[in-house]
Amino acid sequence: MLDFNLSEEQTALCEAARRFTKERIIPAASAADRDAKFPRDVFEEAWKLGLINTTVPGEYGGAGLGELDNALITEQLAYGCTGIQTSMLANTLAGTPVLLAGSDAQKRKYLGMLTSEPRFASYCTTEPSGGSDVAALKTQFRKVGSDYVLNGEKCWITNASLASFYIVFATSDPAKKRISTSRPPRASSTRLTRLPTS
C-alpha cells in the first residue's frame, strides 16, 4: 500500500518554504509585476536558506534532495507568486542536463557555480516556430576546430538577462528522423522480435 504522508523532514521543508513565501515572496510580488523587475534580494535569501538548487548532489555543493522534495518546495513558493517561483527555480531546469549527461568536471564547474554563490542559469529550449517541442528543434550546432557554432533562434528564455551560463538545446543533424508524436500501433497489431543476447 502506498503511503502518501510526508516525512518529518518533508513537512519541515514545506513549512520553511511556506514561511519564506509569506514573509518574502508575497510582499514583493505586486512590485515585481508592476515594475517588471525580478526581486534579486528575494532570490539571494532563498539561496541562503537552501531553497534553490535543492536537487544538486552533495558532492557538488547541493542539498541532494529528491524530486518530490523539490516539488514540495516549488508548490509552496508558487503559492506566493508563480513568476518569482519560476525564475527562482529555473536553475533546476538548467542543472538537470548537466547532472544527467555532464562529465564530472562539467558538474563540478557548472553545478558548483550555482551552489557556491547565488547565481542564475538559463534553459534555452523554446523557439519561435515550434515552442518548447524539443523534437521540432531547428537551432543547429556544428563543431569548428575546438569551438561550437550555434545557428538558430531561441525565445522566452527564463532568466536570460540574469544568467551566468546557458544550457542551449540544439541539433547537429536536422535531417535525422524526429521523434514521432503519432499514436503507436494497437497492441493487437504489434510484433515483438527477440533480439540476440550475444
- Could you tell me the three cell numbers for 35? 515594475
- How confident is the prediction along the chain (198 residues), in pLDDT tens digits per residue? 778 899 999 999 999 999 999 999 999 999 999 999 999 999 999 999 999 999 999 999 999 999 999 999 999 999 999 999 999 999 999 999 999 999 999 999 999 999 999 999 999 999 998 888 888 889 999 999 999 999 999 998 989 999 999 999 999 887 775 554 444 444 433 333 333 444
| In the chain, where the domains are located | 8-174
Does the pTM surpass 0.95? The reply is no
Backbone angles phi and psi of 147, in degrees to 5: -105, 165
Best CA proximity match to 54, nearest among 97, 110, 19, 96? 96
Whole-angstrom Cα distance, residue 32 to residue 27? 10
Best CA proximity match to 152, nearest among 169, 165, 164? 169
Please, what's the largest Cα pairwise distance for the chain? 64
Q: Please give the class, per CATH, of domain 8-174.
A: mainly alpha
Q: What is the pLDDT of residue 190?
A: 35
Burial of 135 (0-12, 13-18, 19+ CB in 10 A): exposed
Which H or E run contains 80?
none
